[in-house]
Structure 1
Amino acid sequence: MVRASFWFGWILSLQVALFWLWGTTPAVALTSEQQLVLQAWRTIDRAYYDDTFNHQNWWVTRDRTLKQQIPNEEAAYTAITKMIASLDEPFTRLLRPEQYRSLQVNTAGELSGVGLQIGVKAGSQQIEVIAPIAGSPAAQAGILPHDTIVEIDAIPTTELTLDTAAVRMRGAMGTNVSLTIQTADKSPREVILIRQKIELNPVTAELHTENGRKIGYLRLSQFSAKAAKELGENITKFKQQGAIGYVLDLRNNPGGLVQAGVEIARQWLNEGTIVYTVDRRGAIDSIDATGTALTDAPLAILVNEGSASASEILAGALQDNGRAKLIGTKTFGKGLIQSLFDLPNGSGLAVTVAKYETPNHHDIHKLGITPDRVVPTPEISLESAATATDTQYLAALKELGV
């Protein structure tokens, strides 16, 4: 009898302990909408770089969310968005099916709409411009990095998520979208843009003759899937044509695929660390050169306030390894890494999984990279880049000894 009582008490204690470990949500069959919410929660729980989850009990957030009425898919999206909002970090976000497909197309090298790369302004809910895409309607209208987008078609952007703002700027070719833009302390202005299909040609390559010496000028507009291949082909071609140095133009390049940035760094570096990644446990991993440099000729890199993310990985790698000199102004300062995760119904999550540091362990997030030689960004058109009116380009030539 004593033994039977002991076993009964032990089993009861075990049940209580397991109930406490599993949380307060009862073990009942979940609807498909609840399963979608739970899958989003689990993905963030396993991958998110901040293991404090913005100093909250993430399990309590799960239970509170699942106890809500989630009668349909739209309600599930709302619940997931609210759950993510509690992290107070703009780069982790839900991507509805159409947004997820659009993002996958963008990284493949195609864009549609007005040609803006956007983010959330630090410490606010405002949408800001990271950089306009070269030659796009936004670039032609004079929209600049760090401009604030106040409204889209009269809707305040403080009421929109980053992705819904992007979706509203996209649309059928030839249609109009109205943006209210604010530059620094100036009064807001309305800009009417006509949407276009924007084919991203990530690399512009020209062999210049400067003072009788051949210089390979390479402008990279985005780190798309085909950027490294195109850039490598042009480096090799210019080398065969007798280039004695190179200027790599990363101005207003908002980033893209981190792997493309790594591959391009390996085209210039034979050895050394390219970037460190730091995960939620503080574990540091390095990505290194692989002995595959295409040239050892001198290199100068042009950067400005619109150079972000993968641009900063590449610039930081080549600066810290002494492979290149940076010319221009301090970069944007986006040092967080996102990975994409599928959700069951065709939607997805972009989750911040780590931060990166330059080879000298410089944390660039919100700080940016300071060039070796600071030269203000000239007020010139895209067509005037790398000409006699481009003071940053002229400074780069001087750095190369031309």
Structure 2
Amino acid sequence: MNKRNIWQLAACCVGTALVTAVGIFTVEGVLLQNLTGSASESLRFLRAMHLVKQNYNGDVDNHTLYDGAIKGMVESVGDPYTVYLNRKDYKQLTEMTDGSFGGIGIVFGKRGDDYIVISALPDNPGAAAGIKSGDIITAVDDKETRTMNMEQVATAIRGKQGTEVTLELKDKEGNLRKVRVVRQEIKTQSVGAEMLPNSKIGYIRIAVFNESTASDFAKEYKKLEAAGMEATIVDLRGNPGGLLDTGVGVARMLVPKGPIVSVVHKTGAKEEYNSTLEQVKYPLAVLVNHGTASAAEIVSGAVKDTKAGKLFGVKTFGKGSVQSVYPLDGSTAVKVTVANYYTPSGVSIHNVGIEPDVVVELPETAREDVQLLAAEQYLKEQLQKK
């Protein structure tokens, strides 16, 4: 066989191979297109994984590759609240919403590139160590947080009870300090209440919105009524939020018949949550600050917009998005921002916050709780008008 015939044969073989490949990729391409929306991008992903497994000079674990791929894909949307939850993260998230979890008792959010402490929960190790709302977490155990996502920061802070974690913090004046905290089991008592001394004003503090908050609030509210309550203060300062449903449940006891909050999804579908309360029972004041966020802002926004009461304090944090957790395989999940919520007047407070009706600063050097005193004075005036 001469060279010309050899090349003709080779050309025929290559042609046959290309036809076969085109046939295969046409079928697979249609399937990938339907499944992922882009056959070419899916093939690019599979080729990258194949090249790493085939050529990387070291051990390659399939689970690690897929874990990294999912994490990168989810976080590429650029939303700090949309994250991949590995086995450890998912377990800790479940424990936290159940009302008991390990750590130091702080809740933080992301604003720009900064991780900001929303709340240091009372009677927990973080607050005892001097961590305050507004502190910026710049490093955890000497690892800079700017290289980490939110779940990684949270995972680094949490750990085995009795072990130490060191946080580098920057205060509002830009001063850096390091704080060493011993991790403990964190108990979140959601609701506490009492009658204010020498008055008919009931005081209810909500620390966080977990599974039991709405029912706990209802029980404490009834106790205060039995004790002679004629006006109510609800303290949401430093409350980082939590579950939307429990926030709505509390609002239904405070605001009159009508909208509490509306949740709008990417499709434009709207879910509206309403109150059926015929009228506001007692004069109401709500305390808010920069640590009031999420579900706590749902309650605050409903009170302000419906004029069920007045807000006292300083502007709230501004988290007006809603996340859903989608399990992947029983031990991992993705947490995705699925909607934004709007107050009864149709306002989105995301990254904006809620301005109180009465602005009252609380200096760190203050000897008295001037925000509480302002709310108490307002309610006493309302009771005198009766």
Q: TM-score band, normalised by the shorter chain? A: 0.7 to 0.9
166, 181, 202: which one pairs with 2:154?
166
Q: Secondary structure at the match of 1:68?
A: helix
How far apart, in 2, do the equivalents of 1:230 and 1:310 lie? 16
226, 236, 245: which one pairs with 1:250?
236
* Alignment CA distance shift 1:73-1:18 (3 Å): closer
| Structure 1 residues 134-149: aligned runs within 5 Å | 134-149=122-137
Matching residue of 1:231: 217
Q: How far apart are 1:85 and its partner, in Å? A: 2.3
Are residue 393 (structure 1) and residue 372 (structure 2) matched?
yes
- Check whether the contact 1:266–1:292 (CA below 8 A) recurs between aligned residues: no
Are residue 368 (structure 1) and residue 358 (structure 2) matched?
no
Q: How far apart are 1:292 and its partner, in Å? A: 8.1
* Bigger radius of gyration among the two: 2
- Check whether the contact 1:136–1:198 (CA below 8 A) recurs between aligned residues: yes
Unaligned runs of 5+ in 2: 1-23, 51-60, 382-386
Matching residue of 2:290: 305
- Check whether the contact 2:75–2:84 (CA below 8 A) recurs between aligned residues: no
Matching residue of 1:113: 103
| Structure 1 residues 264-283: aligned runs within 5 Å | 264-283=250-269
Please provide the CA RMSD for this pair.
2.5
51, 70, 78: which one pairs with 1:80?
70
TM-score (structure 1 length as normaliser): 0.81
- Check whether the contact 1:267–1:292 (CA below 8 A) recurs between aligned residues: no
- Residue identity matched to 2:269: A
- Residue identity matched to 1:394: L
How far apart, in 1, do the equivalents of 2:230 and 2:136 lie? 41
Q: How far apart are 1:186 and its partner, in Å? A: 2.1
Matching residue of 2:302: 317
**1:296-354 deviation per Cα after TM superposition (whole angstroms, max 9, x unaligned):** 01110000000000000011011111111100000000011001111015101111000
* Alignment CA distance shift 1:63-1:342 (3 Å): farther
Q: How far apart are 1:281 and its partner, in Å? A: 2.2
Matching residue of 1:285: 271
- Residue identity matched to 1:354: A
Matching residue of 1:263: 249
**1:161-189 deviation per Cα after TM superposition (whole angstroms, max 9, x unaligned):** 21121111112222211110011342211
- Check whether the contact 1:95–1:347 (CA below 8 A) recurs between aligned residues: yes
* Alignment CA distance shift 1:170-1:250 (3 Å): same
Q: How far apart are 1:120 and its partner, in Å? A: 2.1
How far apart, in 2, do the equivalents of 1:112 and 1:130 lie? 18
Matching residue of 1:12: none
Q: Secondary structure at the match of 1:396?
A: helix
- Residue identity matched to 1:310: A
Give the number of equivalent residue pairs.
349
218, 227, 230: which one pairs with 1:241?
227
Q: Secondary structure at the match of 1:232?
A: helix
Deviates more, 1:99-108 or 1:166-175: 166-175
- Provide the identity percentage: 35
Unaligned runs of 5+ in 1: 1-14, 26-37, 43-56, 382-387
- Check whether the contact 1:179–1:190 (CA below 8 A) recurs between aligned residues: yes
Are residue 377 (structure 1) and residue 362 (structure 2) matched?
yes
Q: Secondary structure at the match of 1:230?
A: helix
Deviates more, 1:60-69 or 1:231-240: 60-69
- Residue identity matched to 2:368: T
**1:123-161 deviation per Cα after TM superposition (whole angstroms, max 9, x unaligned):** x2x322121112222112222223211111111112222
- Residue identity matched to 1:131: S
* Alignment CA distance shift 1:178-1:18 (3 Å): same
How far apart, in 2, do the equivalents of 1:360 and 1:101 lie? 37
How far apart, in 2, do the equivalents of 1:345 and 1:67 lie? 28
* Alignment CA distance shift 1:75-1:397 (3 Å): same
How far apart, in 2, do the equivalents of 1:167 and 1:313 lie? 27
Q: Secondary structure at the match of 1:326?
A: strand
- Residue identity matched to 1:339: S
- Residue identity matched to 2:68: T
Are residue 194 (structure 1) and residue 182 (structure 2) matched?
yes
Q: How far apart are 1:23 and its partner, in Å? A: 4.5
Q: Secondary structure at the match of 1:313?
A: helix
23, 48, 59: which one pairs with 1:68?
48
* Alignment CA distance shift 1:85-1:62 (3 Å): farther
Matching residue of 1:349: 334
Matching residue of 2:119: 131
Higher RCO, 1 vs 2 (CA within 8 Å, ≥6 residues apart):
1
- Check whether the contact 1:24–1:63 (CA below 8 A) recurs between aligned residues: no
Q: How far apart are 1:378 and its partner, in Å? A: 3.8
- Check whether the contact 2:256–2:306 (CA below 8 A) recurs between aligned residues: no
Matching residue of 2:200: 214
